[in-house]
């Protein structure tokens, strides 16, 4: 079942709505009402009441129209009894914020009624593009292209607050909690074809089904960068993770090996994780840091040297200034400038000098000279206004030929400068080293991975288009198994060999052609026979079209 009803619901119902300030039911209800107009919201409380002029509905049976997403914020002992009532509303997905529920019984009840379950014991979901905050977090970051999936509600709220403050956008933010049902692999499979998501960040405490995660992540990482922060590196901290969300953290080296295999970049720590998200939100990924060259522009020589160290330690190198750029800068900068990279424009540099240097560099063929990025640094001095310099850089660095990152050192003025630069689309980091590392270690899609979708030739694309058109003409939303496998085959993706038999006799004749093979016969309405013991495939038309788009 697709997670469309979680990430793009048309009608959300909240069980446990409250008008009492500070209660989870009140916080979630207020957040949901912020999406009114784009998402229909129904608030349920058997005691009645009202919030912001919206009356509470006493019982689920009184909710009008079909529900997509049901959010549970009621005491744990009352949860199981509500699952049949939720199913009766037509809901497809349950988001259980409540902790302390009997997980096996809750999962069994949800499965019995065809419901997907997120949680329990989770913070909720945010979709900034819809204005949807179905959580008890306070902050809504702007819409962007990075999806954040976290097993910790605390990590998610911290990142949402940081994104709001620094204007770093997200496409989706989801707290998975105890992962009784929907897990990391499920969400990755959905995000693989979500057009608004271009990269993915994961906070992981433990993975339940390693094989499924690895298979899914490898396929997704072939065309969307994934960064992961994995906690529980040591036995004591792994035990803490288990007590937190019930996650089995496992041997840390196994996770590192799995991430390397599938092309997931592992963050060193929370700061690195945040810096990578920052970079992914601003500019395209950099596939190979080892061959990447950066320019550094600074008003402080010492910090320029620290930045150069960071570049080299991260595996990059310092770009050589083109001769034409060197001559032009010589012409327009004080004689005491460094005449090399780092480009030290001296401690008395004001806004005008930053503009001058950037204007010169912008006129150069930097990409043609092997430059992959520019890092701009500023150290506060008593002879120049660092905020004015940030304002000048925000203007002068627009449409720069290579990606730009920055770091403004200092106190209040640096914070103001950072906000100014962020608003101009220039990521500003807390230290020169962070700015350099973020510029170099931007997670990239694992384009060389074995699971990479091969290009589809014109004949294959035409054949797929014909299959989709035929299904639509027949009024079907799903392709049957043979059609689905034909889509994969025309896309160059290996599949289990399948033939279609109209009668049992015909199926027997087909089987006779496969002597010595291990056969698995699947009895379905249209009579499918597989030359394999592998299960079948069903493909939604939307996903089939996305296979073509992804390729």
Segments of 231-316 assigned E as strands: 265-266, 293-298
How many alpha carbons lie under 13 Å from residue 147 in its C-beta half-sphere? 26
Residue 447 predicted with pLDDT over 60: no
Higher pLDDT, 497 or 157: 157
pLDDT-based confidence at 285, cuts 50/70/90? low
Other residues' Cβ atoms within 10 Å of the Cβ of residue 345: 23
**80-112 pLDDT, tens per residue?**
999 999 999 999 999 999 999 999 999 999 999
pLDDT-based confidence at 543, cuts 50/70/90? very low
Q: Is 550 exposed, middle or buried (0-12, 13-18, 19+ CB in 10 A)?
A: middle
- Looking at 363-410, list the stretches that DSSP marks H as alpha helix, in order from N- to C-terminal side: 386-396
Mean per-residue pLDDT, 270-290: 73
If you write DSSP's letter for every residue of 112-169 in order, what string do you get?
HTT-EEE-SS--EEEEGGGTEEEES-S--PPEEEEEEEES-HHHHHHHHHHHHHHT--
Q: What letter would DSSP give residue 317?
A: E
Q: What are the two backbone dihedrals, phi and then psi, of residue 145, each rounded to the nearest 5 degrees? A: -120, 0
How high is the pLDDT of residue 515?
57
Other residues' Cβ atoms within 10 Å of the Cβ of residue 196: 18
pLDDT-based confidence at 410, cuts 50/70/90? confident
94: nearest Cα among 84, 105, 86 = 86
Residue 512 predicted with pLDDT over 70: yes
How high is the pLDDT of residue 183?
95
Residue 312 predicted with pLDDT over 70: yes
Cα-Cα end-to-end distance for the chain = 23
Q: How many residues does the chain have?
A: 551
How high is the pLDDT of residue 445?
63
- Looking at 477-532, list the stretches that DSSP marks H as alpha helix, in order from N- to C-terminal side: 481-490, 504-512
pLDDT-based confidence at 518, cuts 50/70/90? very low
For the chain, what is the mean pLDDT? 85
How high is the pLDDT of residue 283?
66
**15-69 pLDDT, tens per residue?**
999 999 999 999 999 999 998 789 999 999 999 999 999 999 999 999 998 999 9
pLDDT-based confidence at 222, cuts 50/70/90? confident
How high is the pLDDT of residue 516?
52
How high is the pLDDT of residue 289?
47
How high is the pLDDT of residue 444?
60
Say what percent of the chain tops pLDDT 70: 85
């Amino acid at each position: 079942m697709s997670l469309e009803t979680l990430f793009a619901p048309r009608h959300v119902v909240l069980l446990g709505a409250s008008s009492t300030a500070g209660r989870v039911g009140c916080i979630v209800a207020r957040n949901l009402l912020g999406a009114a107009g784009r998402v229909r919201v129904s608030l349920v409380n058997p005691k009645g009441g009202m919030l912001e002029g919206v009356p509470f509905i006493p019982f689920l049976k009184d909710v009008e129209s079909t529900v997509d997403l049901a959010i549970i914020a009621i005491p744990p002992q009352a949860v199981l009894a509500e699952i049949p009532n939720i199913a009766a509303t037509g809901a497809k997905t349950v988001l259980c914020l409540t902790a302390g529920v009997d997980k096996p019984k809750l999962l069994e009840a949800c499965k019995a009624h065809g419901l997907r379950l997120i949680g329990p014991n989770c913070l909720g979901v945010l979709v900034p593009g819809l204005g949807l905050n179905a959580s008890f977090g306070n902050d809504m970051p702007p819409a962007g292209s990075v999806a954040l999936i976290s097993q910790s509600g605390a990590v998610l709220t911290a990142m949402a607050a940081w994104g709001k403050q620094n204007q770093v956008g997200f496409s989706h933010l989801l707290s998975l909690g105890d992962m009784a049902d929907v897990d990391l692999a499920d969400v990755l499979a959905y995000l693989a074809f979500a057009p608004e998501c271009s990269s993915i960040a994961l906070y992981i405490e433990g993975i339940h089904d390693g094989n499924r995660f690895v298979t899914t992540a490898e396929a997704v990482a072939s065309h969307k960068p994934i960064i992961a922060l994995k906690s529980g590196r040591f036995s004591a901290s792994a035990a803490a993770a288990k007590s937190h969300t019930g996650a089995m953290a496992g041997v840390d080296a196994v996770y590192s090996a799995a991430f390397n295999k599938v092309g997931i970049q592992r963050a060193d720590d929370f700061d690195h994780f945040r810096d990578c998200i920052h970079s992914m939100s601003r500019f395209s990924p950099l596939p190979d840091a080892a061959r990447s060259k950066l320019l550094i522009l600074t008003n402080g020589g010492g910090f320029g040297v620290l930045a150069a160290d960071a570049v080299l330690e991260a595996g990059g190198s310092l770009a050589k200034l083109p001769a034409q750029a060197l001559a032009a800068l010589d012409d327009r900068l004080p004689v005491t400038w460094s005449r090399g990279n780092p480009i030290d424009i001296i401690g008395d540099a004001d806004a005008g000098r930053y503009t001058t240097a950037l204007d010169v560099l912008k006129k150069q063929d930097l990409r043609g000279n092997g430059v992959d990025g520019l890092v701009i640094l500023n150290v506060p001095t008593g002879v120049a206004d660092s905020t004015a310099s940030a304002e000048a850089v925000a203007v002068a660095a627009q449409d720069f030929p290579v990606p730009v990152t920055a770091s403004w050192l200092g106190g209040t003025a640096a914070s103001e400068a950072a906000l100014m630069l962020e608003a101009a689309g220039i990521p500003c980091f807390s230290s020169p080293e962070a700015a350099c590392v973020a510029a170099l270690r931007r997670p990239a899609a694992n384009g060389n991975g074995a699971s990479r979708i091969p290009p589809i030739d014109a004949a294959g694309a035409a054949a797929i288009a014909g299959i989709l058109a035929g299904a639509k003409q027949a009024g079907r939303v799903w392709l049957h198994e043979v059609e689905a496998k034909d889509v994969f085959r025309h896309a160059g993706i290996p599949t289990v060999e399948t033939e279609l038999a109209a009668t049992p006799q015909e199926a027997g004749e087909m089987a006779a052609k496969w002597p010595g093979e291990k056969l698995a016969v699947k009895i379905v309405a249209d009579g499918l026979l597989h030359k394999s013991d592998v299960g079948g495939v069903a493909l939604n038309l939307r996903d089939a079209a996305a296979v073509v788009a992804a390729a």
